Amino acid sequence: MVSFENVTKTFSSRETGKSAFKALDNVTYTVPRGVITGIIGRSGAGKSTLVRLVNGLERPSEGRVIVDGTDVAALDEVALRSVRRSIGMIFQHFNLLSSRTVYDNVAMPLEIAGMGKQDIKKRIEPLIDLVGLSERTRHYPAQLSGGQKQRVGIARALASEPKLLLSDEATSALDPETTQQILGLLKTINRDLGLTVLLITHEMEVVKAVTSRVAVMDKGQIVESGRTFDVFTAPEHETTRSMLAALPGGSLPDWIGRQVIADPKPGCTALLRLRFFGETADQPLVSRLMTVLGSPVNIIAGTVDEIAGEPYGTLYVAYSADPAVMRKADQFYAQTGLNAEVVGYVA
């Protein structure tokens, strides 16, 4: 649906006209049709620049941006306006007109396109119902909550029947409960309308909850990409691992972390991170581990969750670092397929 081919974007200094900042550095990536793809990274990683290239708000310094078979950067303004009608956009701060009602805000792109009032009504009313605002049709933005404003923004983005929906930090101004509601709405839109969604965010929880595929950005480059479940359960790049550590259960409690040493000493305890997924997710493997070891297993921290709809759990456990015990544990992990990693030792 969207392809970035060796895309570089450099912004020049206004004072000197010379190159000042490379926001994107030789990015090559394809967003597949019909799925929700997340682009994640810290502030300044290049995420928003990437999405602005898709709808032609920025043009690449090098490379091509292909949207549904069209090279966006090669279009003149007239042709670009036509392409933009096939691309919906939802924003972090809603961008609603305060003087227009819910209905009128959603209808605005169709009015600009010259559609007649009755055709607009036929298009808009089902969308307002889809986003759950049919009882708020005549309300103004000042009368709406943040979540309701974002629902208006989503309905407006869908008004032109786009093939692609861009979401740039659309949930970062919302509280956690409202965020989950908006993400649920995006999943419904993706499922029911078959819409391709490109979601830009710095929030790992958002990516975990709603995307099927993810690309991780750092310093203007895509440093890791793939199925969301695969990237989250087996991160390869340090940026990905660092961002995943912010998730609940993603890292050790501080009081334990301060005690961890790198190498074992006589009588110390081994500290391990166990990852449960696939066939291991719903099996009583920890209780079986204790039986096999014949030694106590102390549960330090953990969480059980879903990533892209697939069950996944992380558990930090500690047990004797005696070599005989460690060998039994390694054999158990090999037999069961349980992912285990020694993260250190506690004296």
Domain boundaries, the chain: 2-244, 254-346
Q: Which two tokens stand for residue 325?
A: 């015990």
Q: Give the homologous superfamily in CATH for domain 2-244.
A: P-loop containing nucleotide triphosphate hydrolases (3.40.50.300)
Q: How far apart are CA 221 and CA 41, in angstroms?
A: 10
* DSSP at 143: G
Distances (CA, A) of 279 to 67, 275, 311, 342: 38, 12, 10, 22
pTM above 0.85, yes or no: no
| Cα–Cα distance for residue pair 187/168, rounded to 1 Å | 16
Which residues of the chain register pLDDT less than 70?
13-19, 248-250, 279-282
pLDDT (0 to 100) of residue 308 = 83
- Give tens-digit pLDDT for 169-223: 888 888 889 999 999 999 999 999 899 999 999 988 899 999 999 999 999 999 9
162, 88 in Cβ contact below 8 A? yes
Dump pLDDT digits (tens) for 101-140: 999 999 999 999 899 999 999 999 999 999 999 999 999 9
Residue 199 to residues 65, 85, 92, 177, 218, Cα–Cα distance (Å): 17, 18, 11, 19, 16
Question: What pLDDT was estimated at residue 84?
Answer: 87
Does domain 254-346 fall into CATH 3.20.130.10? no
